[in-house]
Chains A and B, each alone.
Chain A
Amino acid sequence: MKRLTKKQALTLFKSADLLGLGMMADNVRKKLHPERIVSFIIDRNINYTNVCINKCKFCAFYRNEDDPEAYILSKRNLFNKIKETISLGGTQILIQGGLHPKLDIDYYVDLLKSIKERFPIHIHGFSPPEVCYMADKANLPIKKTLQILNEAGLDSIPGGGAEILSDRIREQISPKKIGKDRWLEVMKQAHRIGMKTTATMMFGSVEEPEDIIEHLDAIRRLQDKTNGFTAFIPWSFQPGNTELGGRGKGQGARGKEFKIQNSKPNSSLATRHLSLSTATAVDYLRVLALSRIYLDNVPNIQASWVTQGIKMAQIALRFGANDFGSTMIEENVVAAAGVKYKVSVRDIISAVRSSGFHPAQRDMYYKIIKNSNL
């Protein structure tokens, strides 16, 4: 299949029916992954601090420094979590946190070194906003910062904080967060020094189809240059416990009804601008399928069972996804928004199987570690 242009993608996204889009994405997935393997990684999400100066509107996780719930994870706690992870068959930790004003690069270097000294575990950590914050505070260029972290033991970088790579949208939902260019810069520099990263997209807030395409295009263009992205992970905005979604108004993990009410037939995308309703199942699958079709140079697409639920993730496997992501031994960031899924490795394995695929445990580079006797 010829590469899709931005314009073609937009037309497709706006006018193709869901089943048609799904079929196209499914065919792309089949070509790229004909062996019918659906991979997953056993890892643990460790949030070292929930203090964050950014206060993004959609984030239910952060706290102010003086908040009674504010914390910095102790090393003992951290090591225990890692031990547990390894004993559960885990091969990786995903370590992320808020932008804490009191932590500097030395803290992170020490953190990484102390982990690597003790554990043979892959460290996937620090999304671009964190890397930039460290660099700025230490007055170092991004590249140098990454090199320091890499030497200290950081193996790869998660694609978080991308939200929608469109500055128009970022100004609305995360005004203090790094812009599109810096996000891409971190990834580019990481790839240049040989680190692999993932890329994410959080949609379903205030963006238009054009913004989604812009995001996909930015990823595709960088990938053409660096080939450093291992996977793309689209997920939808969870309006639970957040400013954008009406924090503390007792709405639960669902969009606000009075806003949805404004929607007229066939204007759902336009009114979503105001509505902030959670992206529905249809929206999620459309974006997922489009991502698979558009990102012809990104090998893997992850289904987000954490935000969508297991059944949706199963369906996602036929709409472009070939990976079930992480078993998420711990997921504080999304859980704080009122979405909580607890599943075990066994659950993931049989969820994959009952969707007609072969489950296989992988590492961060998508190398299969274990696919027999599962």
Chain B
Amino acid sequence: MLLNKIENKVITGHRLTTDDALSLFQNDDIFTIGRLANIVAGRKNGNKAYFIQNHHINPTNICINRCKFCAFSRSKGEKGAYELSIGEIIDKLKEGQESRVKSQELSKKQLKSKKKNFKLLTHNSKLLTLFSEVHIVGGLHPDWDFGFYLEMLRAIKTNFPTIHTKAFTAVEIDYFSNISGLPLTETLQELNNAGLDSMPGGGAEIFDTRVRNRICPEKISGRRWLQVMEAAHRVGISTNATMLYGHLESYKNRVEHMLKLRDLQDRTGGFQAFIPLAFHPLNTKLGVRSQGSEVSKRNKTNPQSLTPNPCLYTSGIDDLKTIAISRLFLDNFQHIKAYWIMLGEKIAQLALMFGADDLDGTIIEEKITHSAGALSGSALTRAQLINLIEKTGKIPVERDSFYNRVKR
């Protein structure tokens, strides 16, 4: 059968064609597809499954784009609009670290002596190792100038020299280039000099123009997204790539999307991870997610249910298949991320058996998540993540932004 042919290709390490990928999407044998994806994941990353402790900051929800699906964004002056000053951002990061110290201490049951705890809280160099990455995305603010963003990056670097700054989707970079009047490359270079270490992969949605114009006409085109990424890779900024699926697109659109990413990766090698994101139709998560903030805005439901109207969501089977096929097709991507905040811990855990090798972060309390009424369960602890990974038979590895093991 067809799957046999593809299996041979995978085993012998040959690249899959778009037709191969398409026939995988149409194939019902999720067990073979999963097994093959797992083989490839094993070749790339051994038996390891990664996670990272990172902290999310959304500097503002004021956005000139106001994409129709975006529940996160507000117009200026609208109720609920907010903007953080640089000082507030720094404070949030400090708070984040402190709450992390506390939760770590609690979980380690090292609260025997308050004195010791106090010592830890005030011991700065220890603090700095608690989360290794800050993740910043936000709206396209009408008044902030480019200099403000540079200053923000510098301030973070000065205060937290060891923390990796992963910030700004291609949508924001494009906007920065507009407001600064600088070409893409120079915009990125300046950001890089100011402290931008890498970029998330949001805003890619689906590249197909027809579909894209229906789901997010307000956004930069797929072509522009790829241009921004290419420019970033050229100045040495590595990035992720996402794909939003489960809305109006066809399997063919998904494959073509991945093909564009694979082609660009062939040229630059600048992508670290591919992150497939399932569309959530009713609640506007598209907005936040497509912005790339990758912040969960769950309804008041169990993290796995994704209700109120679960039927409109992608099926769990489709989620796993999409992960697996992306692992098989994107042979030049080192990592496939099953972003647990989006997938829920159950599907994310299974994804580790379907080719994914990264669950992303443990996220401590964070503004957007809470204002949107997410469950308190939106943060998994380190121990819980480790447990999930071990149950799949993989070896949990806490990583830094470059997939190096973090020693604790």
Measured CB to CB, the nearest residue on chain A to B343 is A311
Contact pattern, A 226-264, Cβ under 8 Å of B = 1, otherwise 0? 000000000000000000000000001111011011010
State whether the Cβ of B318 lies closer than 8 Å to any Cβ in chain A: yes
- Chain B 286-321 interface residues, beta-carbon cutoff 8 Å to A: 301-302, 304-320
Contact (A260, B387) CB under 8 Å given A308-B304, A340-B301? yes
Which residues of chain A have C-beta atoms less than 8 A from B375's C-beta?
252
Which of B132-140, B187-195, B237-245, B346-354 contacts the other chain? B346-354
Contact of B302 among A277, A280, A309, A318 (CB under 8 A): A309
Contact (Cβ within 8 A) B304 A315: no
Q: Give chain A nearest CB distance to B306 CB in angstroms.
A: 7
Specify which of B28, B310, B391, B392 is in contact with A343 (CB 8 Å cutoff): B310
Contact of B311 among A260, A285, A349 (CB under 8 A): A349
In the complex, what distance in Å separates the CA atom of A257 from the CA atom of B383?
Answer: 6
Cα of A268 to Cα of B383 in the assembled complex, Å: 13
CB contacts under 8 Å to B, within A290-325, are 308-315, 317-318
Which residues of chain B from 1 to 46 have any CB-CB distance to chain A below 8 Å in the complex? 28, 30-31, 34-35, 38
Cβ-defined partner of A311 (8 Å) among B34, B107, B316:
B316
Given contacts A260-B387, A263-B387, A343-B310, whether A19 and B315 have CB atoms under 8 Å apart is: no
Given the interface pairs A257-B107, A268-B391, the reply to whether A356 lies near B313 with Cβ below 8 Å is: no
Taking the closest CB of chain A, its distance from the CB of B198, in whole angstroms, is: 30
By size class, the interface of chain A is: 35 or more
* Interface residue A106 (Cβ < 8 Å from any Cβ of B): no
Q: Which of A20, A314, A350 contacts B316 (CB 8 A)?
A: A314
B310 touches A261 (CB 8 A): no
Which residues from A are CB-within-8-Å of B346? 280-281, 308-309, 311-312
B-chain residues with CB within 8 Å of residue A351 when the two chains form the complex: 310-311, 315
Contact residues in A for B383 (Cβ distance below 8 Å):
257-258, 260-261
A281-B347, A347-B309 known; A315 vs B316 contact (CB < 8 Å): yes
Q: Does B87 interact with chain A (Cβ within 8 Å)?
A: no
The count of residues in chain B whose C-beta lies closer than 8 Å to any C-beta of chain A is 48
Name 13 A/B residue pairs within 8 A (Cβ), A-sorted: A260-B387, A263-B387, A265-B395, A277-B387, A308-B346, A315-B347, A318-B317, A343-B307, A347-B309, A347-B310, A350-B311, A354-B318, A355-B315
A311 to B314, CA, bound (A): 8
How many Å lie between the Cα of A254 and that of B340 in the bound state? Answer: 15
Q: Chain B: residues with CB nearer than 8 A to chain A?
A: 28, 30-31, 34-35, 38, 107, 109, 301-302, 304-320, 344-347, 349-350, 353, 375-377, 381, 383-384, 386-388, 390-393, 395
C-alpha spacing A356/B27, complex, angstroms = 11
Residue A211 lies at the interface, judged by CB distance under 8 Å to chain B: no
Describe A's contact surface by its main secondary structure.
helix
Docked complex: A320-369 residues within 8 A CB-CB of B: 338-343, 346-351, 354-356
Pick from B310, B312, B320, B391: contact of A315, CB below 8 A: B320
Other A-B contacts than A266-B390, A280-B346, A356-B28, 10 sampled, CB-CB below 8 A, are A261-B107, A263-B386, A281-B345, A285-B350, A310-B306, A311-B310, A314-B315, A315-B316, A317-B317, A343-B311
**B384–A19 touching, CB < 8 Å:** no
Assembly CA distance A281 to B317 (angstroms): 13
CA distance A313 to B304 in the complex (A): 11
- List residues of A whose CB falls within 8 A of some B CB: 17-20, 22-23, 26, 252-255, 257-258, 260-261, 263, 265-266, 268, 275, 277, 280-283, 285, 308-315, 317-318, 338-343, 346-351, 354-356
Residues of the A chain whose Cβ atoms lie less than 8 Å from the Cβ of B301: 340-342
Contacts of A318 in B (CB 8 A): 30-31, 317
Q: Is B305 within 8 A of A341, CB to CB? A: yes
Instruction: Tell me the minimal C-beta distance from B317 to chain A in angstroms.
Output: 5
Given contacts A19-B34, A280-B349, A343-B307, contact A310 B390 (CB under 8 A): no
**Could you tell me the distance between the alpha carbons of A19 and B31 in the complex, rounded to whole angstroms?**
6
Closest to B278 in A: A311
Q: How far is the CA of A317 from the CA of B349 in the complex (A)?
A: 18
Q: Which residues of B contact A26 (CB under 8 A)?
A: 31
For B305, list chain A residues within 8 Å (CB).
309-310, 340-341
Q: Give the distance in Å from the alpha carbon of A354 to the alpha carbon of B318 in the complex.
A: 9
Known contacts A252-B377, A268-B387, A283-B391; A310/B347 CB under 8 A: no
Q: Do the beta carbons of A310 and B313 come within 8 Å of each other?
A: yes
Residues in A whose Cβ lies below 8 Å from that of B30: 318
Q: Is there contact, CB below 8 Å, between A341 and B307?
A: yes
Could you tell me if B314 and A268 are in contact, using CB atoms closer than 8 angstroms? no
Once the chains are docked, how many angstroms separate the CA of A265 from the CA of B388?
11
Q: 4 shortest A-B CB distances, which residue pairs?
A: A309-B304, A311-B316, A350-B311, A281-B346
What's the minimum C-beta distance from A323 to chain B, rounded to whole angstroms?
16
Taking the closest CB of chain A, its distance from the CB of B350, in whole angstroms, is 5
